[in-house]
């Protein structure tokens, strides 16, 4: 059976195991931030998501813009047009590093990891900072440093589909499904009903992804500084009354997208407020801090100066004001780390050679970076795009 499959099928598993052991060791020694990780466990054959990462061999987006060629699997018709990546590859601004094939909710996906050379896009208001307060009632309240407040309503993707989903699930449960104990195979009608249910899940996920990208792209294209809160999303998900809504809103994903879009697309700043920064309890007018402000109180009324405004508006204004405090320093509260690009096995040799030579030239010019050089470096910044 070894020869029947691509060698990458086995290599992916070994590479993942290696990463897992590495994370475990680093977590144990305190090198890795975040929750303590245990020793790697075996994946379940039944539950694990099927995925395989191809790093060598013929990986290609075909010129017709409708097919992809993968090692061992050959040329496959893609459902979506591949024009976006294809034009970049043909223009020489993208280099494909690897491709990951995965099975999700009944569909197969091929995600390309590519190194893309793109110009830093200018933002429309580089001097304005925006504070973003994420919430369940309205997805985001954005206040900029000029005092303008905008509210993005929560689209309720999942709740909107709940009725459809309930119906689809009921149909599935009435059909003869697979049974592991008796070895019963699912019936054709079960498979059909299950596919219909998968479709609903897909639709919710796609609508959510689209809305989040539109929101973060618009924000990062406008402002020079973006201030967000460092929310404890994992902790908030433990609240069983709010978990569904919080997971649906995608707070963590908004943070991640804002992070890479500010750094890599526009070379702007993102400031992440400390987790314990009292953005809701502070008065945006006079700076007085309340000791307590329960979640059900939706309007903020200041005891010191008598200011009354919406709770979320107040929090967003406080976050925007935080940008001013961080302007002079190097960004104490800031998260200036560039987003790390995970390189697949042995795929980065070519790039490293060119990078080193470029750095050597800059070094010979006398150490300090000149303005025009800085610009070049920013333009050469690359990033991975699926
Ligand atoms: Zn006040």
Q: What is the pLDDT of residues 174-205, one digit of tens each?
A: 999 998 899 899 999 999 999 999 899 888 88
pLDDT-derived band at 327, boundaries 50, 70, 90: low
Which of 62, 92, 117 delimits the end of a domain? 117
pLDDT at 312 over 60: yes
Q: Pick the residue with more confidence: 194 or 362?
A: 194
CA of 83 to the centre of ligand 1 (A): 54
pLDDT at 211: 87
Does 20 fall in a domain? yes
- Domain membership flag for residue 8: yes
Q: Residues 115, 144, 222, 229: which is the catalytic one?
A: 229
Task: Examine the domain organization and report whether 139 and 72 are in the same domain.
Answer: no
pLDDT reading at 168 higher than 90? yes
- Report pLDDT digits (tens) over 253-287: 888 899 989 988 888 888 888 878 888 888 888 88
> Which residues, other chains included, contact 352 with Cβ-Cβ below 8 Å and sequence gap of 6+?
none
Q: Are residues 235 and 99 in the same domain?
A: no
Mean predicted lDDT score pLDDT of the chain: 80
Asked if residue 147 and residue 90 are part of one domain, the reply reads no
For residue 315, the CA-to-ligand 1 centroid distance in Å is: 13
Task: Give mean pLDDT, residues 355-372.
Answer: 38
Domain end, chosen from 28, 48, 68, is at 48
For the question of residue 115 being annotated catalytic, the response is no
pLDDT digits (tens, 9 = 90+) for 19-29: 999 999 999 98
Instruction: State whether 141 and 283 are in the same domain.
Output: yes
Do 257 and 282 fall within a single domain? yes
Per-residue confidence (pLDDT) for residue 362, from 0 to 100? 37
* pLDDT, tens digit (0-9, with 9 covering 90-100), for 104-159: 877 899 999 999 888 888 888 888 889 888 888 788 888 888 888 888 888 777 78
Query: Within a domain: residue 306?
Result: yes
In a domain, 1, yes or no: yes
**Centroid of ligand 1 to alpha carbon of 326 (angstroms):** 22
Distance between Cα 331 and ligand 1 center (Å): 26
Mean pLDDT to the nearest integer, 77-95:
92
Mean pLDDT of 349-356: 40
**Among residues 8, 133, 144, 313, which one is catalytic?**
133
Residues 313 and 252 in one domain: yes
Domain range for residue 273?
125-152+205-326
- Look at residues 296, 326, 356 and tell me which one is the last residue of a structural domain: 326
The pLDDT of residue 135 is 81
CA of 285 relative to ligand 1 center, distance in Å: 5
Specify the higher pLDDT residue, 170 or 337: 170
Q: Report how far ligand 1's centroid is from the alpha carbon of 291 (Å).
A: 13
| In-domain check, residue 298 | yes
Ligand 1 geometric centre to CA of 281 (Å) = 10
**How far away, in angstroms, is 300 Cα from ligand 1 center?**
9
User: Span 28-51, mean pLDDT?
Assistant: 85
Domain holding 283: CATH number? 3.30.420
Residue 44 and residue 58 in one domain:
no
Nearest by Cα to 334 from 343, 344, 323, 321:
323
Q: Report yes or no on 200 lying in a domain.
A: no
Q: Round to whole Å and give the CA distance between 224 and 124.
A: 8
pLDDT (average), residues 320-341: 53
Pick 376 or 90 by higher pLDDT: 90
> What pLDDT is attached to residue 236?
77
Query: Is residue 180 in some structural domain?
Result: no
Catalytic-residue membership of 312: yes
pLDDT for the residue 332: 37
Q: What is the mean pLDDT of residues 235-241?
A: 78
Structural domain tally of the chain?
3
Q: What is the band of 53 on the pLDDT scale with cuts at 50, 70, 90?
A: very high
Asked if 112 and 259 sit in the same domain, the reply is no
Span of 6-10, 273-277, 311-315 with lowest mean pLDDT: 273-277
Ligand 1 centroid vs 310 CA: distance in angstroms? 13
What's residue 293's pLDDT?
81
Same structural domain, 63 and 44 = no
Ligand 1 center from residue 218 Cα (angstroms): 31
Query: Do both 42 and 62 map to the same domain?
Result: no
Note whether residue 245 is domain-resident: yes
Q: Which residues surround ligand 1, an ion (CB under 5 A)?
A: 283, 285-286, 288, 302, 304-305, 307
**The predicted structure's pLDDT at residue 372:** 42
The alpha carbon of 321 and the centre of ligand 1 are apart by a number of angstroms equal to 14
Are 59 and 90 contained in the same domain? yes
The confidence score (pLDDT) of residue 374 equals 41
Q: 213: how many CB neighbours lie within 10 A of its CB?
A: 14
Is a pLDDT exceeding 90 seen at residue 7?
Answer: no
Question: Which residue in the list 115, 144, 222, 312 is annotated as catalytic?
Answer: 312
Same domain, yes or no: 95 and 228: no
Q: How confident is the model at residue 345 (pLDDT cuts 50, 70, 90)?
A: low
């Amino acid at each position: 059976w070894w020869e029947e499959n691509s060698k990458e099928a086995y290599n992916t598993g070994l590479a993942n195991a290696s990463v897992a052991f590495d994370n475990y060791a680093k977590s144990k020694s305190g090198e890795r931030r975040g929750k303590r990780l245990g020793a790697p466990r075996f994946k379940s054959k039944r539950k694990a998501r099927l995925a395989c990462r191809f790093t060598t061999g013929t990986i290609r987006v075909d010129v017709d813009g409708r097919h992809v060629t993968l090692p061992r699997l050959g040329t496959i018709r893609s459902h979506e047009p591949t024009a976006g990546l294809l034009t970049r590859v043909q223009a020489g601004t993208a280099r494909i590093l690897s491709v990951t094939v995965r099975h999700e909710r009944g569909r197969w996906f091929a995600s390309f990891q590519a190194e893309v050379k793109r110009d830093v896009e200018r933002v429309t208001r580089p001097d304005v900072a925006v504070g973003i307060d994420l919430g369940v009632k309205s997805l985001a309240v954005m206040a900029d440093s000029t005092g303008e407040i905008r509210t993005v309503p929560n689209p309720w993707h999942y709740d909107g589909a709940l009725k459809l989903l309930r119906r689809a699930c009921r149909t599935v449960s009435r059909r003869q499904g697979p049974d592991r104990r008796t070895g019963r195979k699912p019936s054709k009608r079960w498979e059909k009903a299950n596919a219909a249910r998968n479709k609903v899940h897909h639709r919710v996920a796609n609508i959510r992804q689209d809305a989040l990208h539109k929101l973060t792209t618009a924000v990062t294209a406008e402002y020079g500084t973006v201030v967000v809160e460092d929310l404890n999303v994992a902790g908030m998900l433990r609240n069983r009354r709010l978990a569904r809504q919080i997971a649906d809103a995608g707070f963590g994903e908004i943070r991640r997208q804002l992070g890479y879009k500010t750094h890599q697309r526009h070379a702007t700043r993102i400031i992440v407020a400390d987790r314990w920064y009292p953005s809701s309890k502070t008065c945006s007018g006079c700076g007085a801090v309340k000791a307590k402000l329960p979640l059900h109180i939706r309007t903020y009324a200041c005891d010191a100066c008598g200011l009354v405004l919406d709770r979320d508006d107040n929090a967003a204004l406080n976050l925007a004001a935080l940008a001013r405090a961080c302007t002079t320093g190097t960004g104490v509260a800031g998260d200036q780390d560039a987003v790390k690009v995970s390189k697949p096995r042995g795929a980065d040799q070519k790039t490293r050679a060119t990078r080193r030579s470029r750095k050597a030239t800059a070094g010979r010019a006398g150490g300090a970076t000149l303005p025009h050089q800085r610009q070049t470096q920013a333009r050469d910044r690359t990033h991975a795009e699926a």
